[in-house]
Chains A and B, each alone.
Chain A
Amino acid sequence: MLFIRRLVIVSLMALMIAFGIIGCGEDNKDNTEDITSTKAVYIVNGSAQTLSMFDIEKSEMKNDVFNTGKWTADIKIVGDKAYVVNTGDNNIQIVDLITLTQTGLINIGDNTSPERIVFADNNKAYVTCLYTNSVKAVDLGSNAVTKDIPVGIGPMGATVAGKKVYVCNPAYDFATNSYGKGTVSVIDSANDSVIKTIDVETNPLEAVTSGDKVFVMCVGNYADIMGKLCIIDSASNTVTKTVDLGTTPSGIAISPKGIAYITTFGGLISVDVNSGELIHTSASPLADFASGSGIAFSKDGTGYICVADWAGTGNDKLLVMDASEKLAGSYKAGGGASIVAIKD
């Protein structure tokens, strides 16, 4: 019996020790250190549902500095505020970038699926809503939706040119898993009504503005229809040129030098904003920046491109492109780093 006693005691103690070693407590992540910066890049980490902050002056990355909502689709920075569009929560978080705390929340409404936010001025924003086929006008004083503006099917990207808001309508049909006719709805911000609908190419997903030109990135159908860039003259609201990109694009941004850079799986391709001519084509892209998605430029012309690792192996990156289009740095970002915005 002595042997059994010893056996019982030793076995249980061994298991308790193992329990203690492997089981103590919960894993807590503490982000209490100083995280503010005057010039910074903010990255949306889609799978982590957080923001990362890259301090431009110190060239330091701090990951998971702020918890976003679910399925964040857009981030825009106005002064010291960031507006984070959470598709999965049907809301927009207003984030104080000095303290990195949430200071407000705009409720877009259940079953709306907000996708992008753009600002007409300091008082009014527009939010595209996939589920309602509309754009919500938001009063930034009360943070409340003031009007629902019907647009095309499945609105996504948007941009502002002068007093007009250009809204991309990819017309994705969830039932047939295919795309209808891509259009761009033009909203007059003075009376919040659609003044024109412009036919563009397949799957217009994002739009950016340079001067009086609106650049609409049409992604294609991810199969046999390749991406195209439609250039709209905002004065006449007509497509003046269509650039065949020859590949499937992911994101677009315009540098201070007047070049539109487009992220693709093979690398960055680029288009001269003035001439509408391709500079780096899909056959000879800037390959250092392959697999990028979100892209943005600081005022000094430095480009920031995020690369998401959807396999979850931790290879999410923020790539830095200097003015000579060279890779100037690579920094580990949070899980699913896919959208980027700059405060500078």
Chain B
Amino acid sequence: MKKIFIFLFLLFLTIETTLADNEVIKLDEIIISATRTESSLDRISASSVIVSEAQINSSVANDLSDLFNTTNIVQTTDYGTGSLSTISMRGSSSSQVLVLVDGKRLNDSRNGMVNLDLIPISNIQRIEIIRGGQSAIYGADAVGGIINIITKKPRNSSIKLSSNIGSYGLQSYEIEASKKIKSIGGLISLSRTSSDSDFPYKNKFGEELIRENAEYAKRNVFTKLTWNILPSANLEISANHFYSDANTPGMIGFYTPNAKEKDKTNDFSLNFRHKLSPIASYKITAYDRYAFMRYINPTYPYPSDDTHKTNSKNAEIQFNIFNNTNYPLVIGALHLNEKVDSTAVNERGRQTYSGYAQQEIGKELSLKGLKRVSLFPAIRWDHYSDFEAGISPKIGFLASFEDMVYIRANIGKSYRAPTMSDLYWPSSAMTSGNPNLKPEKSNDGDFGVQLSLLNQLDNIRIRFGTSYFQNNITDGIQWTPTIGGKWIPNNIAKINTKGIETDMMFHLSMLDIPDLFRINSNYTLTIAKDSLGNQLIHRPKHALGYTVRIGTNNLWCQAQGLHQSRRFYTTANTKWLEPFTKYDFQAGMERRILKDTKTGLILELKNAFNADYQLSADYPMPGREWGFRLYFGMEGE
């Protein structure tokens, strides 16, 4: 057996996948998003990654964009610090990735996108990332995958204070207090982040300039209340207010020295769970989300003052039946009411009615090491008031050999909803929406193998997984000129995506210190082609991330590397952004100065070797940056 392990390890080296990511695979993690019910990572068919709380806490990130820009968990396209950062998975567009917070949709029905810069880290306990089409479980927009952000929960009496200070005037302050009294728990978190973002860069003539009009200030209030009404029933209520006031500097050569963007979101959600019996439970979820965005640019020639308001109200009931058996079933229904009030598309509304069912059909076996086989059929029906969506099916397969080797496969159909802008953009001389649009459709599948040696070896824990994926998108929505030169969206694009993902973890325990030395890595090969065979813009073919960490929980240091191959930015693939490799270094220490307290310091050097890179053409990214985080926590009974 040892020979196999050595062989496999050498194999990783030879195929250059010895990268690492920041504890991408957390051992023994429970994942909720893959099946809408709690499962172990090793008991689901979907390719999944969990970003743990420890991982989030070892960075000096302030928002989700900061966090993802240092890893290869997903690909981001960044339009400048604090401005706009979007996400891509498996070669998808940003509007083909569904982003959720505790199951609540963040994708804006107006433009389909989620701006990662507007998701503060201070709310987040952990992040679940499910790769591949998930419309059979989550409906629209889950084409490339989903990201489900799990927010913090109340703990026993605790107070946490933290502050981040960094380059270019970065300042961030956070206070979090949590208390549980008998069956009731509460948590409140307040944070404020600001930065001048006035980093140096070079323009197209090689002149060194300072990024101007890039400053931002963000503030966030998050509260959560939990109440265990009965031993078998609990209620969770959370509210979140976020406000961002950011200046937008524009692209190189076309600066917007007076442009501003103001964003505000108010979220309220309610979650009631009731366990009826050991094998049956139900959950009622309701949320109300209000998002406001105003963009102001008083400068000629594009003076604008646009306001967009989106309101989403959702009510959902979900039943979990046959829990703790070999065939757990999840069924549910929901109603989503979305309203947009925008200077671009005026007042629009959308009603969605959905029903879904998902089941694991598992069987324990004892056949040549094959210990368990499971099928995961899932189906979802969505009815929209303004377009036809229909049925989204999916089936997954998982085979477990000796709890060490896992074979996974999935195949299904997903879709992306036409946005309100696609459908209702007002008719003018040059543009018009198309109310007859259909959703973008995708047929996707993947196949993967995972090796988990978590308890079999002394002092070493290894997990290695690799998957092949393929996704064919038809009816892609594309704006093209028609008679008279008017640009109108139509369902004409075809995209074929295939690739390979690998995730690797190697943890070594020494000197009686568990996981003293850790390497985590992932590599993604993405071949995303349009109908002419050209790679889609902003999709790097190769992306590699790794983390090497040494130390204990109280004293550690780590190096993170991120490499991406070139990104084309013309559809004909005639021009591209150069490949880049950047390195980040962090070191942290934590001490108990007083009883029941912990005080910690994290130092960070981002882009340590000053790599000159861009993630979107003509939007410069900062060079070397330093930062440190000081925190103090106190926990009581």
Which residues of A are at the interface with B, using a C-beta cutoff of 8 A? 1, 3-5, 7-9, 11-12, 15-16, 18-19, 22-23, 26-27, 29, 45, 47-50, 64, 67, 70, 88-91, 107, 110-111, 113, 130-131, 133, 154, 174-175, 177-178, 221-223, 248, 250, 265, 310-314, 334-336
What are 20 of the A-B contact pairs (CB < 8 Å)?
A3-B401, A4-B401, A4-B405, A5-B4, A8-B4, A12-B466, A15-B466, A15-B468, A19-B500, A27-B573, A48-B570, A64-B572, A70-B617, A110-B253, A154-B301, A174-B301, A222-B430, A222-B486, A313-B532, A314-B531
A342 shortest CB reach to chain B, Å: 23
Of the residues B304, B485, B570, contact of A175 by C-beta under 8 Å: B304
Known: A88-B253, A175-B303, A250-B485. A15 touches B449 (CB 8 A): yes
Interface flag for B574 (CB, 8 Å): yes
Q: In this complex, what residue of B is CB-closest to A265?
A: B483
Cross-chain contact A11 with B449 (CB below 8 angstroms): yes
A114 shortest CB reach to chain B, Å: 11
Cross-chain contact B253 with A47 (CB below 8 angstroms): no
A145 shortest CB reach to chain B, Å: 13
Closest 10 CB pairs between A and B? A48-B572, A222-B429, A335-B572, A11-B449, A311-B480, A3-B368, A23-B525, A48-B574, A223-B429, A4-B369
Cross-chain contact A18 with B468 (CB below 8 angstroms): yes
Q: In this complex, what residue of B is CB-closest to A224?
A: B429
Residues of B within 8 A of A107 (CB): 205
A142 shortest CB reach to chain B, Å: 15
Residues of B within 8 A of A91 (CB): 204-205
A11 to B525, CA, bound (A): 18
Cross-chain contact A64 with B532 (CB below 8 angstroms): no
Residues of B within 8 A of A48 (CB): 570-572, 574
Which residues of chain B in 176-219 are interfacial with respect to chain A, using CB atoms and an 8 Å cutoff?
Answer: 203-205
Residues of B within 8 A of A15 (CB): 449, 466, 468, 500
Interface flag for B29 (CB, 8 Å): no
| Tier of interface size on chain B | 35 or more
Cross-chain contact A45 with B468 (CB below 8 angstroms): no
Known: A12-B11, A12-B449, A64-B572. A89 touches B253 (CB 8 A): yes
Q: In this complex, what residue of A is CB-closest to B402?
A: A4
Interface flag for B15 (CB, 8 Å): yes
Cross-chain contact A248 with B405 (CB below 8 angstroms): no
Known: A15-B466, A15-B500, A88-B253. A49 touches B301 (CB 8 A): no
A279 to B410, CA, bound (A): 63
A178 to B499, CA, bound (A): 46
B143 shortest CB reach to chain A, Å: 20
Contacts A12-B8, A89-B253 given; 4 further ones with Cβ under 8 A?
Answer: A23-B527, A67-B575, A177-B428, A312-B571
Residues of A within 8 A of B231 (CB): none
Residues of A within 8 A of B575 (CB): 49, 67
A113 to B302, CA, bound (A): 12
Residues of B within 8 A of A130 (CB): 301
A16 to B500, CA, bound (A): 9
Cross-chain contact B255 with A111 (CB below 8 angstroms): yes
Known: A4-B369, A12-B8, A89-B253. A265 touches B484 (CB 8 A): yes
Residues of B within 8 A of A336 (CB): 572
Residues of A within 8 A of B205 (CB): 91, 107
Residues of B within 8 A of A90 (CB): 204, 253-254
A312 shortest CB reach to chain B, Å: 5
Cross-chain contact B449 with A8 (CB below 8 angstroms): yes
Cross-chain contact A174 with B429 (CB below 8 angstroms): no
Residues of A within 8 A of B617 (CB): 70
Residues of B within 8 A of A248 (CB): 484-485
Residues of B within 8 A of A265 (CB): 483-485
Interface flag for B541 (CB, 8 Å): yes
Interface flag for B294 (CB, 8 Å): no
Known: A5-B4, A110-B254. A334 touches B402 (CB 8 A): no
Cross-chain contact B527 with A22 (CB below 8 angstroms): yes
- Chief secondary structure at chain A's binding surface: loop
A190 to B237, CA, bound (A): 76
Q: In this complex, what residue of A is CB-closest to B479?
A: A310
Which residues of chain B in 476-498 are interfacial with respect to chain A, using CB atoms and an 8 Å cutoff?
Answer: 478, 480-481, 483-486, 492-493, 498
Known: A4-B401, A311-B480. A29 touches B449 (CB 8 A): no
Residues of A within 8 A of B369 (CB): 1, 3-4
Residues of B within 8 A of A23 (CB): 499-500, 525, 527, 541-542
Cross-chain contact B478 with A89 (CB below 8 angstroms): no
A7 to B430, CA, bound (A): 59
Residues of A within 8 A of B541 (CB): 23, 26
Cross-chain contact A50 with B204 (CB below 8 angstroms): no
Cross-chain contact B404 with A4 (CB below 8 angstroms): yes
A312 to B565, CA, bound (A): 24
Q: In this complex, what residue of A is CB-closest to B401?
A: A4
Residues of B within 8 A of A18 (CB): 468, 500
Residue-wise, chain B 531-574 has the 8 Å CB interface mask toward A (1 for contact) of 11001000001100000000000000000000001100011111
A338 to B492, CA, bound (A): 21
Residues of B within 8 A of A175 (CB): 303-304
Of the residues B8, B430, B480, B499, contact of A8 by C-beta under 8 Å: B8
Cross-chain contact B532 with A8 (CB below 8 angstroms): no
Known: A107-B205, A110-B203. A19 touches B15 (CB 8 A): yes
Cross-chain contact B532 with A89 (CB below 8 angstroms): no
Cross-chain contact B253 with A222 (CB below 8 angstroms): no
A111 to B574, CA, bound (A): 25
Cross-chain contact A177 with B301 (CB below 8 angstroms): no
Of the residues A16, A26, A223, contact of B566 by C-beta under 8 Å: A26
Cross-chain contact A47 with B571 (CB below 8 angstroms): yes
A250 to B486, CA, bound (A): 12
Residues of B within 8 A of A335 (CB): 570-572, 574
Cross-chain contact A222 with B535 (CB below 8 angstroms): no
Known: A23-B500, A110-B203. A50 touches B301 (CB 8 A): no
Residues of B within 8 A of A12 (CB): 8, 11, 449, 466
A199 shortest CB reach to chain B, Å: 21
Cross-chain contact A314 with B532 (CB below 8 angstroms): yes
A114 to B541, CA, bound (A): 34
Residues of A within 8 A of B542 (CB): 23
Residues of A within 8 A of B483 (CB): 265
A134 shortest CB reach to chain B, Å: 12
Residues of B within 8 A of A110 (CB): 203, 253-255
A263 shortest CB reach to chain B, Å: 11
A5 to B1, CA, bound (A): 8
Of the residues A9, A27, A47, contact of B570 by C-beta under 8 Å: A47
Residues of A within 8 A of B8 (CB): 8, 12
Known: A26-B541, A310-B480. A89 touches B527 (CB 8 A): no
B125 shortest CB reach to chain A, Å: 33
A312 to B1, CA, bound (A): 53
- Select the residue from B500, B530, B565 with max chain A CB neighbours within 10 A: B500
Residues of A within 8 A of B302 (CB): 174
A178 to B430, CA, bound (A): 10
Q: In this complex, what residue of B is CB-closest to A153?
A: B301
- Select the residue from B429, B449, B468 with max chain A CB neighbours within 10 A: B429
Which residues of chain B in 561-616 are interfacial with respect to chain A, using CB atoms and an 8 Å cutoff?
Answer: 565-566, 570-575
Cross-chain contact B428 with A45 (CB below 8 angstroms): no
Cross-chain contact B492 with A311 (CB below 8 angstroms): yes
A290 to B291, CA, bound (A): 45
B462 shortest CB reach to chain A, Å: 12
Cross-chain contact A45 with B572 (CB below 8 angstroms): yes
A130 to B480, CA, bound (A): 24
Q: In this complex, what residue of A is CB-closest to B568?
A: A27
Residues of B within 8 A of A311 (CB): 478, 480, 492
Residues of B within 8 A of A154 (CB): 301
A134 to B300, CA, bound (A): 13
Cross-chain contact A67 with B4 (CB below 8 angstroms): no
Q: In this complex, what residue of A is CB-closest to B482?
A: A265
B507 shortest CB reach to chain A, Å: 20
Residues of B within 8 A of A222 (CB): 429-430, 484-486
A107 to B573, CA, bound (A): 26
